[in-house]
Structure 1
Amino acid sequence: MGRQWGPSMRSAEQAGCVVSASRAGQPDVGSWSCSGVILSRNPGLVLCHGGIFTPFLRAGSGALTEACVAFLPGDSCTDDLRLHVQWGPTAATPAGRAEQGRPGLCTPQCAGLGLGLQPRGRPLQPPRPAELLLLLSCPAFRAHFARLFGAEAAEQWHFVSAAPDDEVSEEEEEDQLRALGWFALLRVRRGADAEGEERGPALAVAPLGSVAKGAPLLACGSPFGAFCPDIFLNTLSRGVLSNAAGPLLLTDARCLPGTEGGGVFAARPAGALVALVAAPLCWKAREWVGLTLLCAAAPLLQAARAALVRLHPDSAALAALLPPEVGTPRGLPLRDLAPPWASAAVLVECGSVWGSGVAVASRLVVTCRHVAPRESARVLVHLATPKSVAIWGRVTFATQETSPYDIAVVSLEEDLDGVPMPVPAEHFHEGEPVSVVGFGVFGQACGPLVTSGILSAVVQVDDAPVMLQTTCAVHGGSSGGPLFSTHSGDLLGIVASNTRDNSTGATYPHLNFSIPVTVLQPALQQYSQTGDLCGLQELDRATEPVKVVWRLQRPLPNAPQSKL
């Protein structure tokens, strides 16, 4: 995964674990499991998701919704709760020092499949019993969650670890929603074979705000929890910090059910724990969003320290053993990105319609026609940084409805001071890392969203690019936003749409289309020389093959018939 990810991968795999909860003497009742993070090895302290404890709460899940409650002691759960924690070998244990690649024994869950599976060359530690010290939440996370996902918006959002159409009882869904944002601090009981565990690598935590929006992240969790950990333990996924509202973070790293409570790590500070997974999957209006909801680790651990000190003198000693914060907080403005290409993204409001845009000249913004459809219409443009700046403009050009290119241009009444103009790309390279910056998913409330992916296809007509396809997650509100090359910062195109299956109505955020900047560049060069935008009228005279491409039709006149 690259040299820069070496420390983060080691931290993630050494700190990752899976936590299971069950009822004593009731093996047929089943068990609940999630991912976790090993905070300290001597004594063994683990932080995991709180959702697996809702069936055991003496007062029911309603105890988690009381506004004044920031933590609950371990005895808030029934006496029949039994906890176990399992992790991979550390470099200090005999298993960790064993030759890599030597097959170990598969766990009973995997062995029962009869598939002849081989584990990943890392013999697992046997599950260790653990005790619940406390359940805790971050009050600021809960407040931001209520602001962004509550009130009228609550009916549109869905956070349970199942698709909206799956059979989940209302009680189960309510319990999961109440537990969202709650985590658990556990103490693992040491076994007789615990030699060397205290020499495991130390974990460090990134302070809140020390990781910039758009910075790369590495998520580490165990899909499906305790099911078949030989295969799924500490599965890695890469993404970026897409957006933030205080300790409530969003990432486009793709996570699955069971990764709740898994750790999310930064490349810089190297290997530092940034957050824990709060909800790996979410839907809006029954559409998969493709983003993972995180809770920042630093405020969670601050809450844990305060709770341990209040609970008991013996618990206070544990507070000093929680991992320290490293790095310097600096807030999360978009301009902290390096290079600062994403500052060219703007929010465009045209009446009741809003979307994204990109500054291409000191008084010129390009967006989509369906965002600003009427020529001469008044438009309000909000800059990403500083957030308080808004400039009025007017739509001076919009392509016709018959044009395949969904483009509008806004001329501003004032200069865009302090906004760096992006460099337009001249060539496109399939497979290169790219980023989309747009105001989808709380962009109006939290600033622009950054998502990452690759340039998956460059569609050409007569050897000229006419469409770009990417794997970045694109949502409503992102239309008109810029597509950048992550490495060079060059402007590649303007986001026009994602993909909808007309037969099912499903939208796919990771399959989307952008208008290549090379289509606009001749007219923009003419504008820079003469101040005239008449060259954009060529977009209305696109050929039929270009129209066919943007209708997602096969350009061949006699398409071969499938024999399947």
Structure 2
Amino acid sequence: MAEERACCVVSVSGPTDGPWSCSGVVLSRGPGLVLCQGAVFAPFLRDGPAAWAQPRALLPADLRPCPRLLVLQPSAGTRAPALGLDPSAGGLQQHEARLLALVPCGAFQQALGRAFGPAEQWRFGGEAAGDDLEALHWFAWLRVPGLDTPGEGWIARASASCLRKGEGLLACGSPFGDLCPDLFLNTLSRGVVSNVAGEENALILTDARCLPGTEGGGAFLPSPDGSRLVAVIAASLCWKGAEWVGLTLLCSLAAILRSSASVLGEAGVVVPPVPGRVAAVPAGGGQDPLGWVALVECGAVWGSGVLLAPRLLLTCRHVVEAGAPLRVTPAPGPGRPATTLNGRLVFATQESSPFDVAVVELEESVPGFVPLCLADTFLPGEEVSVVGFGALGRACGPSVTVGVLSAVVAVAGRPVMLQTTCAVHGGSSGGPLVSSRSGRLLGIVASNTRDTGAGSTYPHLNFCIPITILQPPIAHYRRTGDPSAFAGLNRVGEGVQAAWRLQRQPAHPSKL
């Protein structure tokens, strides 16, 4: 595949220590150029971590001692990792490289500062990046003469400014860097654009699952005429407080190239312009669920909600139970400018009910409302997506994550709980669960899984309330305006209570 041929491993070692390694991308073969994450050079900075704070590029003279650089790639005609790479058999090529410069990406740094507030205790980790937040926006340019190939030029590229939330991405990197390249070199992972921030989408979050060591690898945008490199992996793992977010942090390639143009020009490298737009392959069919979701704020508490009608919103009880005034901000879109509306709580289930549901009436109609379609059946294993204000939340609008409908829990033949593998975070509660195949609303997110002993969460196992539970009282309320239509949600049998028992406060210490 083109993605595997474009990616590599970068190994950095000193005379007495190392090696340190990360993934990289072969951006050009005429001349041979490799781009990777800059943090792998941290042990060799003359000024130590303080060097990351300056705005100018760092040159080879800023390193000590002069490290040895190797670029590892599969040999021509060898497909990794399926066939395995044996260096003694010529399956792995090693090329000597030299550092041209370490370059900071200013647009990415600014987006990081705005999207990831220090009060929210964001942390990023990986083999290359570690916990050194100052190095996240630094990238290294390597000159690799062994990659020079007559007649070949720069890799096919695309601008991140064309990305849309929910659009498919393919990530390629090498878990654990130069450890066991015969097993891990240029591993692929598929996901979607979960969120974007900054100038021309300089910062991108994806739910493609990447492991430590993939920092510096590439994120590719599939298109009918072949994949195009759109971003570089900056951090494979993200935490928000004690919550593992399960998303990968990317930096726009176009932003890196803009920041690097002058430094590369001094080295005699001309950077060709990045195409502004390509015909992308959509992640799924159906309607756009971004038009259904809204931010719901109740005092200091906030979450997500689903717009069922121009003035009717569905969310979770725990989002609105503070009793403070309700403010609802629908996600902006075509024909819908950013606006915040006041809401009135019509109904909320009792705390004893396993169905964590609240119904809100808006004081005004949502402009540009598009009616949604409700599902009446559920297919375990089908691809689904969750839209909500988790993770980046209010800073960057709703995020999109994809997965599968992993289980349908039924009582007496009636679905009462849906489980998915979509990454779900604090703030996603009340957001829509949507079938990627049909575009229909399957349910609303109620909770994800938490380890109460460690205080951490597992975003890829979560629980949703089926829309088939909620559809009859919603239809009755819309006909009559009588809130008692929802009273049956408080009267459920022991089987339903048992299915949702992990959501209740446990009488004894529990792992969930």
> Taking structure 2 as the reference length, what is the TM-score of the superposition?
0.90
Deviation at 1:505, TM superposition (A): 2.8
Deviation at 1:222, TM superposition (A): 0.2
Q: Could you tell me how far apart the structure 1 residues matched to 2:117 and 2:309 are? A: 39
Read off the aligned partner of 2:247 and give its amino acid letter: L
2:347 aligned with 1:408, yes or no?
Answer: no
The residue correspondences of 1:116-265 to structure 2 (distance < 5 A) are 124-153=91-120, 156-161=121-126, 176-190=132-146, 197-198=149-150, 203-246=155-198, 247-265=202-220
| Aligned 8 A contact 2:12 2:67 in 1 | yes
Structure 2 spans left out of the alignment, 5+ residues: 504-512
Distance 1:344 1:39, change over 3 A: same
Distance 1:338 1:278, change over 3 A: farther
2:62 paired residue among 58, 63, 76: 76
For residues 177-213 of structure 1, the C-alpha deviation after alignment (integer angstroms, 9 at most, x for no partner) is 221111101110228xx7xx44568522211311111
| Aligned 8 A contact 1:357 1:366 in 2 | yes
Q: Secondary structure at the match of 1:261?
A: coil
Equivalent residue number for residue 556 of structure 1: none
1:287 paired residue among 228, 237, 243: 243
Distance 1:352 1:479, change over 3 A: same
| Aligned 8 A contact 2:31 2:153 in 1 | no
The residue correspondences of 1:245-394 to structure 2 (distance < 5 A) are 245-246=197-198, 247-268=202-223, 270-309=226-265, 312=266, 315-316=267-268, 318-320=269-271, 324-328=273-277, 339-373=287-321, 378-385=325-332, 386=336, 388-394=338-344
For residues 512-532 of structure 1, the C-alpha deviation after alignment (integer angstroms, 9 at most, x for no partner) is 000000001111222333333
How many equivalent pairs are there? 493
Distance 1:76 1:124, change over 3 A: farther
1:399 paired residue among 345, 349, 363: 349
Distance 1:405 1:201, change over 3 A: farther
Deviation at 1:428, TM superposition (A): 0.3
| Aligned 8 A contact 1:434 1:455 in 2 | yes
Q: Could you tell me how far apart the structure 1 residues matched to 2:379 and 2:130 are? A: 44
Q: Could you tell me how far apart the structure 2 residues matched to 1:255 and 1:522 are? A: 42
Greater CA drift, 286-295 or 490-499: 286-295
Distance 1:83 1:17, change over 3 A: same
What's the RMSD between the two structures over aligned residues? 2.7
Deviation at 1:42, TM superposition (A): 2.2
Read off the aligned partner of 1:57 and give its amino acid letter: L
| Aligned 8 A contact 1:11 1:203 in 2 | no
For residues 244-283 of structure 1, the C-alpha deviation after alignment (integer angstroms, 9 at most, x for no partner) is 1121111111111110100001123741111111110122
Distance 1:250 1:207, change over 3 A: same
Deviation at 1:337, TM superposition (A): 9.5
Deviation at 1:160, TM superposition (A): 2.7
Q: Secondary structure at the match of 1:127?
A: strand
Deviation at 1:61, TM superposition (A): 2.3
Distance 1:210 1:128, change over 3 A: same
Q: Could you tell me how far apart the structure 2 residues matched to 1:297 and 1:497 are? A: 35
Read off the aligned partner of 1:527 and give its amino acid letter: Y
Equivalent residue number for residue 14 of structure 1: 5
Q: Could you tell me how far apart the structure 2 residues matched to 1:242 and 1:187 are? A: 33
Read off the aligned partner of 1:356 and give its amino acid letter: S
Structure 1 spans left out of the alignment, 5+ residues: 1-9, 90-94, 109-118, 163-167, 331-335, 554-564
Q: Could you tell me how far apart the structure 2 residues matched to 1:464 and 1:102 are? A: 43
Deviation at 1:342, TM superposition (A): 2.2
Q: Could you tell me how far apart the structure 2 residues matched to 1:541 and 1:394 are? A: 24
Q: Could you tell me how far apart the structure 2 residues matched to 1:99 and 1:228 are? A: 15
Q: Could you tell me how far apart the structure 1 residues matched to 2:437 and 2:263 are? A: 44
2:1 aligned with 1:52, yes or no?
Answer: no
Deviation at 1:346, TM superposition (A): 0.2
> Taking structure 1 as the reference length, what is the TM-score of the superposition?
0.82
Read off the aligned partner of 2:50 and give its amino acid letter: G
Q: Could you tell me how far apart the structure 2 residues matched to 1:240 and 1:206 are? A: 16
Q: Could you tell me how far apart the structure 2 residues matched to 1:99 and 1:368 are? A: 48
Read off the aligned partner of 2:108 and give its amino acid letter: F
Read off the aligned partner of 2:64 and give its amino acid letter: T
Q: Could you tell me how far apart the structure 2 residues matched to 1:177 and 1:453 are? A: 29
For residues 104-134 of structure 1, the C-alpha deviation after alignment (integer angstroms, 9 at most, x for no partner) is 76248xxxxxxxxxx9xxx634210001011
Q: Could you tell me how far apart the structure 1 residues matched to 2:253 and 2:247 are? A: 18
- Find the structure with the greater CA-based Rg: 1
2:471 aligned with 1:521, yes or no?
Answer: yes
Read off the aligned partner of 1:203 and give its amino acid letter: I
Read off the aligned partner of 1:491 and give its amino acid letter: L
